[in-house]
A and B are shown apart, each in its own frame.
Chain A
């Protein structure tokens, strides 16, 4: 299966610590997205990359959050000085983007718990 892969699946951290998540998209997909999902809600957009360029960031993405996609392949999402409000499922998705939109293919997410 060459779907979107996320690591780790679960992360428990203490408030104030830094955490980093990794996403490996489907190999031929040039777009990569990060979403955040809290219990009972739909995914909320955080940011997306086209190849290695970060083209859009949500206002939800505070300056404690940073995402990279250095070679246009895998991506990392880092949260510095975590807060309890950061507890959520962090979803990565990828798509093959030409001139038109196409469905996002999601990974199974990283569930973050900040204690």
Chain B
């Protein structure tokens, strides 16, 4: 399944499928990006980050892709599990700075 961030804030996928969550950022000066996962009643939890000198970074079951040309960021989750159900936020900021700006978020629901 695939979302388009602000335009499609909800995404439902079958357990075991891959998920793609998209984020469009606005500040061309941002050079550091982070994905967070937020479960109901909890604070955002760090998933993975990427600097602008990279276009891809992989973690455990997650991959972040960065396209600086179109200011687009995506989070791919492999073999999505019910525990992945949450709201996912991208955050942008300057790598040498001190401020992070968060997008609206995408709600991911995993169907068993």
Contact = CB atoms under 8 A, between A and B. Distances in A.
B32 A101 contact: yes
B42 to A, nearest CB: 5
B110 to A, nearest CB: 20
Interface secondary structure of A, over-half rule: loop
Interface stretch (B12-20, B66-74, B99-107): B99-107
Contact of B95 (A45, A91, A100, A105): A100
How many A residues touch the partner, as a band? 20 to 34
Interface secondary structure of B, over-half rule: loop
B43 A42 contact: no
Interface string A75-115: 00000000000000001010001011101111111000000
Contacts of A4: 43
B73 to A, nearest CB: 14
Contact of A43 (B9, B41, B96, B102): B102
11 contacts: A45-B99, A45-B100, A50-B98, A55-B98, A56-B98, A97-B98, A101-B32, A101-B93, A101-B98, A104-B34, A104-B46
Interface of A: 4, 31, 40-45, 48, 50, 55-56, 91, 93, 97, 99-101, 103-109
Given A44-B102, A101-B96, A104-B100, 6 more contacts: A41-B104, A43-B102, A91-B44, A93-B43, A99-B96, A101-B97
